[in-house]
A and B are shown apart, each in its own frame.
Chain A
Amino acid sequence: QVQLVQSGAEVKKPGASMRVSCEAPGHPFSGYLIHWVRQAPGQGLEWMGYVNPKSGGTNYAEKFQGRVTMTRDTSINTAYMELRRLTSDDSAIYYCVRRDIGFLGFDPWGQGTLVTVSS
């Protein structure tokens, strides 16, 4: 059973950058995409974009373009999401999720990484 293991909680200052990692231990990156979804406190789910671990190709939500970069390191089966120029509105739980190409669902989800942006 594939699991996604994310990095730990972070506290950032406004204007700083954050980077969250997402590892699939023991499972090579192949045949699927890693998407990123965030959830602000008490709010709903927001799709941010994806990285194709095999090709490195990306697709970002328009809202985050210019501020987000999604990458991967296939040698360690890990994906990364970097978000820059943080504001308090970026305080949220960030999830990485797997989507098998062509599958109409996100599964599994990482455990989530809480990022707090505060001065």
Chain B
Amino acid sequence: AIQLTQSPSSLSASVGDRVTIACRASQGISTDLAWYQQKPGEAPKLLMSAASTLQNGVPSRFSGSGSGTDFTLTITSLQPEDVATYYCQQFNSYPFTFGPGTKVDMK
């Protein structure tokens, strides 16, 4: 199975800060990666498909990049409503594994 690691596991940032979350796959997965945002008590929400395709309704301050084994989710200007845990997931091969998550909170 393909393993996904995320770094950092948690971070604190201020409103307006640029936030970067990394996701690394144990083997190359092309751009077969999605990013999700999960707020406490809610189901995950799809932010990005195919590594860099922003989903309808997701603010443009979110962006994704990468291919192969290294991927990045960037929030260009952190807002209070972005406090959440972020997960990456690979779709290259079954089982469709998730990263362990990165918890983002406000400083």
Report A's interface with B, CB cutoff 8 A: 35, 37, 44-47, 59, 61-62, 95, 103-112
Identify A112's interface contact among B43, B51, B99, CB under 8 A: B43
Q: A44-B87, A104-B51, A111-B43 are in contact. List 20 more A-B contacts (CB 8 A).
A: A44-B100, A45-B44, A45-B87, A45-B101, A47-B95, A61-B94, A62-B95, A95-B43, A103-B49, A104-B31, A104-B49, A104-B50, A105-B46, A105-B49, A105-B50, A105-B91, A106-B34, A107-B46, A107-B55, A109-B44
Place the interface of chain B in its size category: 20 to 34
Give B residues with C-beta under 8 Å from A: 31-34, 36, 43-46, 48-51, 53, 55, 87, 89, 91, 94-101
Contact of A105 among B34, B43, B95, B97 (CB under 8 A): B34
